[in-house]
Amino acid sequence: MSNKPRIAVLGTGIMGQPMACNLAAAGFDTAAWNRSETRYQALTKAGVQVMSSPADAVRDRDAVVVMLSSGPVCEEILFGDSHQPAQGCQGAVHAMKPGALLIVMSSIGRNEAIDLAARSQVRGLQWLDAPVSGGEKGAIEGSLSIMAGGTEDAFERATPILAAMGRPVHIGPAGTGALAKLVNQLTVATTIAAVSEAMTLAEVGGADPARVREAMLGGFAASCILEQHGQRMLERNFTPGGPSKHQLKDTRSACDAANELGLDLPLLKLTDQLFSDLVDHDGGDLDHSALLLEIRRRNGLDDY
């Protein structure tokens, strides 16, 4: 019998499904739950046990990985009472065994992470806020950048689990993983905005955007955003790896954190407004590289 911890994954969407599959592939006994059943076939094929409720998924598990869409959804599933009324369960944490490890890998706010950590510890659970960067590609390849906030003991215990999904780095105490992700998302969002403007300026100025991108990739402007999302912009391929509505959630959380800390971050504010406008113009379900469309809309380039 394997001495590896038994894992549950709550949330198997674009990111959570390949993460759960990678855990199973690494030899972890893995169960999963998701609100939608559309991805269950791939999970079952990978050896993941599909459960009918969050409580059933986490029961008797040594560690629970959470990959839900937002802080409020995490709070609802972990601490709410709407999913197991017949059994009187007040959220998934109430079905977790004492001492289990709760790893919230969703992108949530700094204060949300600190609050959920405290509530989890009252329940006798170990906590990590461990959000990720790398998108769907990183989730599939098991190469995610993982930013973990929590105690040293919790991080050491979680490291073999996290290593099956990517490269974990311990940032500091609870809440710092969530903060690191907001820092990451600020950088991603503003870079997407810059690349969107660059591609637009190149095209309208008479240069071939594809050749401009090729030249830029050889210099200081090179980045994963220019390489991957720049290509998406050229192809007009906005099938979501990271939906714009989720990017907006993260820029809003980053703005909240900046305000709490008394910081004026003008690039963040402007980029948050750009994503808000994109979402308001029906771009919320498009990939965040679709910010190009908002830049073009503002400039009267009506070709969509």
List, by residue number, the catalytic residues. Answer: 181
Question: Residue 21 contacts by C-beta under 8 Å, 6 or more apart in sequence?
Answer: 42, 43, 46, 48
Q: How many angstroms separate the CA atoms of 160 and 153, rounded?
A: 13
Bridge partners of residue 148, in order along the sequence: 170
Q: How many angstroms separate the CA atoms of 272 and 270, rounded?
A: 5
Please choose, from the candidates 144, 162, 166, 143, the residue with its C-alpha nearest in 3D space to the C-alpha of residue 65: 162
What is the DSSP track for 35-96? S--TTHHHHHHTTPEE-SSHHHHHTT-SEEEE--SSHHHHHHHHH-SSSBGGGTB-SGGGGS
Bridge partners of residue 33, in order along the sequence: 10
Element (H, E) at 219: none
Question: Residue 110 contacts by C-beta under 8 Å, 6 or more apart in sequence?
Answer: 175, 178, 179, 182, 253, 257, 260
Angle at which helix 110-122 crosses helix 176-204, to 10 degrees, equals: 150
